[in-house]
Amino acid sequence: MWYALKAELVYFRVWLLGGLGIAGGVSGLMLVLKFLVDDAEGIPGFLTGMFLFIAGMVVSFIVQSYRWEERRTRLLLAGTLTPRQLAGVMVILPVCFMSVGALAGVVMIGLTALITGNLDPADLRTTAVLGVEFWAYAQMGPLVQEATAARRQGRGRAAIAGWAVFAVAVLLLAVGMFFRHLIQANLGQMTAIVMAMVVAAKLYTGRTDYTR
Amino acid sequence: MNDHRPGAAARLSGLTKRWPGFQLGPLDLVLEPGTVLALVGPNGAGKTTTLNCMAGLIVPDEGGTEVYGSPVHPTLVEYRRDIGYVGEENGFFQGWKARRNLDFLAKLMPGWSKDRARRLAERFGLPMDKPVNKLSHGNRTKLALVAALAHGPRLLLLDEPTSGLDPVVRSEVLDVLWEITEDGEHAVLYSTHVLSDINRLADELAFLRDGQLVLRTGRDELSERWRRVSFRLQHEDVELTGVVEHRRVRAEHQVITRDSEATLQQLAELGAEAVEVSRMSVDEIAVQILKEGHHVVRAES
């Protein structure tokens, strides 16, 4: 599984680097503007890093829609990989992309703080809430794909379970935005993420058709 | 179908798969080692679904498949060592070179021989240093064949392997498949609607129509029995044994028969004159079999 995961990461690193490059460019431009205008109130400090988080999410969406079905078919025929292992690759890939995006985002926020000399704790809170929120969005992709596949394959109960978990996850994410405490918000988001990962993997291993 | 000899390359037992508005099977089919079986049928007949069930990519609703005695299911891996599969989609990393794709698969496939892959690629004239998305359709098919053959499978499942290929490449692909099966140890099941391929490769033919197996027969047997017969006979409504198509203009008749011996004997008894018998090519016969039902056409003027 790790070998297949590594191959996917290597293959899509161009997309990731490109996405991070664009996001980094936008963040850098904001940083320059912030420096030139000298208006610390005008642009929130977390915003420069947020673009890099978003880049991780967008690349996750691209990967989820890019010939995954075909490649899973090929991998399933490649000797030793089981559907459970392929499900693992499917749900762990967004984690990897989001981790790289988050790392770059945190570095950018640190850079912003160094340049402006101002690190507002509220910025860190907002970063943590929005960052995990974007990660949760990225994990919803496989869940929606698998719930749709279950419906298409006539696995009615599996499809209902998938869509129900999706609805609960969206509810948790929506409610989480209103929590004042970071831990409460992140707890709700993490619950949604774990639920989405587990159910997406479960739905994938229960497929009756691995070709589409 | 309670025959469980382990020697069969593939054994389909009551294989059934239902989609909305379509049912494949129940199919019972045994493929012996050394046999090249062409699965012939029009689009939507169930050829791809059959192959996908045999490869373990689709789970049947009822029945199942065994490959060299190992049950086929997506969660099992044993049977995959014996299968080489070329499907409609190739599933490669499009931006990677052909060589890199094969190197990637080599680490996943038990029994993969880099030497075999290299020889096959050379035999096909496959440009190994081109990205897959820059390869022509023919070269992508060749790459898929190399990927399917490099681990030395004993059963090849090929879904329309020559579809969309130009005549030269198609001929090359068929040559290689013919060489592979020449040793008598490999079994091949390939689906096609390119009927000219049948003559070149297949020992046996299985005809699928609307998800049902309508006929399985040897190619030579088919050629021996089917004939086009023209004759003169004054009878207006004559029913001839084995005839699947009958055209008549006044006393001149032309029939296509699937049992030439019986038809000719009956014609002799009826006193038919000017009887002329001509052979039919396998693809002509296949078209007749796949037509909607064995029917009698009466063209009168």
With CB atoms and an 8 Å threshold, state whether B108 touches A81: yes
Going from N- to C-terminal start, the domains of chain A cover: 2-205
With CB atoms and an 8 Å threshold, state whether B57 touches A77: yes
3-state helix/strand/coil string of chain B:
CCCCCCCCCEEEEEEEEEECCEEEEEEEEEECCCCEEEEECCCCCCHHHHHHHHHCCECCCEEEEEECCEECCCCCCHHHHHEEEECCCCCCCCCCEHHHHHHHHHCCCCCCCHHHHHHHHHHHCCCCCCEHHHCCHHHHHHHHHHHHHCCCCCEEEEECCCCCCCHHHHHHHHHHHHHHHCCCCCEEEEEECCCHHHHHHCCEEEEEECCEEEEEEEHHHHHHHCEEEEEECCCCCCCCCCEEEEEEECCEEEEEECCHHHHHHHHHHHCCEEEEEEECCHHHHHHHHHCCCCCCCCCCC
pLDDT tens digits, B13-32: 999 999 888 999 799 999 98
Closest chain A residue to the Cα of B105, Cα to Cα: A78
pLDDT of residue B250: 80
With CB atoms and an 8 Å threshold, state whether A79 touches B109: yes
Closest chain A residue to the Cα of B78, Cα to Cα: A79
pLDDT of residue A198: 96
A70 neighbourhood in chain B, CB within 8 Å: 89-91
With CB atoms and an 8 Å threshold, state whether B108 touches A79: yes
* A-interface mutation test, from B89, B101, B158, most A Cβ less than 10 A away: B89
B90 neighbourhood in chain A, CB within 8 Å: 70, 74
pLDDT of residue B234: 80
pLDDT tens digits, B188-241: 998 987 777 777 788 888 989 889 988 888 888 888 888 999 988 887 677 888
Output the tens digit of pLDDT for each of chain A's 212 residues.
888 888 888 888 888 999 999 988 988 888 777 777 765 555 676 777 888 889 989 998 988 887 666 677 777 777 778 899 999 999 999 999 999 998 998 888 888 888 777 777 777 788 888 888 899 999 999 999 999 999 988 899 999 999 999 999 999 888 877 776 777 778 888 999 999 999 999 999 999 988 87
CB-based contact, A2 to chain B, within 8 Å = no
Query: Sign (positive/negative) of CA torsion A67, A70, A76, A79?
Result: negative
- Residue A164 CA from chain centroid, whole number: 20
pLDDT, greater one: B187 or B183: B187
Minimal C-alpha gap between A89 and chain B (Å):
15
A210 neighbourhood in chain B, CB within 8 Å: 57-58, 74
With CB atoms and an 8 Å threshold, state whether B91 touches A75: yes
Minimal C-alpha gap between B81 and chain A (Å):
6
In chain B, the percentage of residues whose pLDDT exceeds 70 is: 94
* A-interface mutation test, from B15, B17, B59, most A Cβ less than 10 A away: B59
pLDDT of residue B2: 42
User: Residue A82 is nearest to which of B77, B83, B93, comparing CB atoms?
Assistant: B77
Tokens of A52: 């890099």
pLDDT reading at B34 higher than 90: no
Let me know if B115 is exposed, middle or buried by CB neighbors in 10 A (0-12, 13-18, 19+). Answer: exposed
CB-based contact, A75 to chain B, within 8 Å = yes
CA distances from B183 to A11, B22, B180, B203 (A): 39, 38, 7, 14
pLDDT of residue B178: 81
pLDDT tens digits, B109-147: 888 999 999 998 998 888 999 999 999 888 888 899 999
pLDDT reading at B297 higher than 60: no
* B-interface mutation test, from A9, A74, A76, A207, most B Cβ less than 10 A away: A74
pLDDT reading at B158 higher than 80: yes
* B-interface mutation test, from A67, A77, A204, A212, most B Cβ less than 10 A away: A77
pLDDT reading at B252 higher than 90: no
pLDDT reading at B4 higher than 80: no
